[in-house]
Amino acid sequence: MPLATESMVLNMGPHHPSTHGVLRFILRTDGEVIHHCRPDIGYLHRGLEKIAEKVSYAHFMPYTDRLDYLAAMNCNLGYAITVERAAGIEVPPRAEYIRVLVAELNRIISHLISVGTFAMDMGAVTPFTHSLREREWVNDLFEELCGSRLTYNYVRFGGVALDLPDGFLQRLSRFLDYFEPRLRQYNRFISKNKIFKERLVGVAVISPKDALDYKLVGPNLRASGIDWDLRRDEPYSVYGELDFDVPVGGGAEMGELGDCYSRYWIRIREMEQSVRILRQCMEKIPDGSHWNRSKKKLKIEPGEFYVRTEAPRGELGFYLVSKGGLKPHRLKIMTGSFSAMSIVEKVGSGLMVADLVALIASLDVVAPEVDR
């Protein structure tokens, strides 16, 4: 007589350490095999889009830090560009270079947390301590720049709040000289690790068609072979003046196209390109003002505006509806983590329970971006 089995419903989260925040996944399993996986979001909802309707344009800037606490500079920047285009505010060249500089630094430390926690989720604890070591160096630079280490509130409409302190670029150069060899070290003890690769190659494959159908963005989209990066394809700020490559999945060293390892490897390669962008910014940054103070009272004429930028987790879009006045009528925000959650049900169903941990880590989901 064959062995009779039955399915069981398991709650993974909302306080599971591998869900990377207050996220819940409802699993229907038969032993270790997941028959169905449904994300259940909303545990971290703070009503940020509604708050935007109640405060002035400038007063909402600190709230954008809370959209993605691992990439607050990029969130500041996306919102600032949206309001600037709606209001017709010009940004001085020096401020544009400073913005790109801090955005790419934030991309590096965001990806460091991603790859460090990814390795830890797979059972390798030591790489996370290394990623924190590098991240703390950049946090020191940010603290010197704006006084904060996590939520910065640094970007302003028309520029940035403070100019670079004396000697900042020299200290940044020392960090980059230190960090580039460390990336090669990461490749030795994580990327090329036999156990790590066998654990991830061929797991939770997302095809190019599914990546587009489910609106994946950023590294998750590029890992599936879609060559798209807003910094290059719809340049904003001074990205159009900089030379850099866009890593795309599909290479022999990246495992199978669209798998967990490819999504990990894309982020390693993107950190290399961020270093390249930072060195160019340091060479090209002009003298001048860091802030255009000509707009004393911000008032946007009635209309609808949508601006998207390339944050560490992909497309970060702000859809602004103005009816005139000093505050938005509506503000809707699109984030990369919310887009990534849409495909978990499709790809997660059929995996082993342990492989769902790898899938979530590879998508680099951050709970505040999902719920807002």
Task: Provide the whole-model pTM.
Answer: 0.93
Residue 324: the pLDDT is: 87
Q: What is the pLDDT of residue 296?
A: 60
Instruction: With CA atoms as reference, report the closest residue to 210 among 221, 219, 198.
Output: 221
pLDDT reported for residue 354: 87
Q: In sequence order, what E strands does the chain have?
A: 8-12, 24-30, 33-40, 155-156, 159-160, 303-311, 314-322, 330-334
| CA–CA separation, 351 and 204 (whole Å) | 7
Domains of the chain: 8-371 (1.10.645.10)
Instruction: Give yes or no for a contact between 362 and 264, defined as CB atoms under 8 angstroms apart.
Output: yes
pLDDT given for residue 1 in this prediction: 57
Q: Which residue has 């270790």 as its token pair?
A: 32
What is the chain's pLDDT, residue by residue, as a tens digit (372 residues)? Answer: 566 677 889 888 787 777 777 888 898 988 888 899 898 888 888 889 999 999 999 999 999 998 888 999 999 999 999 999 999 899 999 999 999 999 999 999 999 999 998 988 888 888 889 899 999 999 999 999 999 998 999 999 989 999 999 999 999 999 999 999 988 888 888 888 888 888 999 888 999 999 999 999 999 999 999 999 999 999 999 999 999 999 998 766 667 888 999 999 999 999 999 999 999 999 999 998 988 877 667 888 899 999 999 999 989 999 999 998 889 999 999 998 888 888 998 998 888 988 999 999 899 888 888 888
pLDDT reported for residue 20 = 73
Task: Locate 265 and state its tokens.
Answer: 């490897």
- 214 vs 189: CA distance, rounded Å: 33
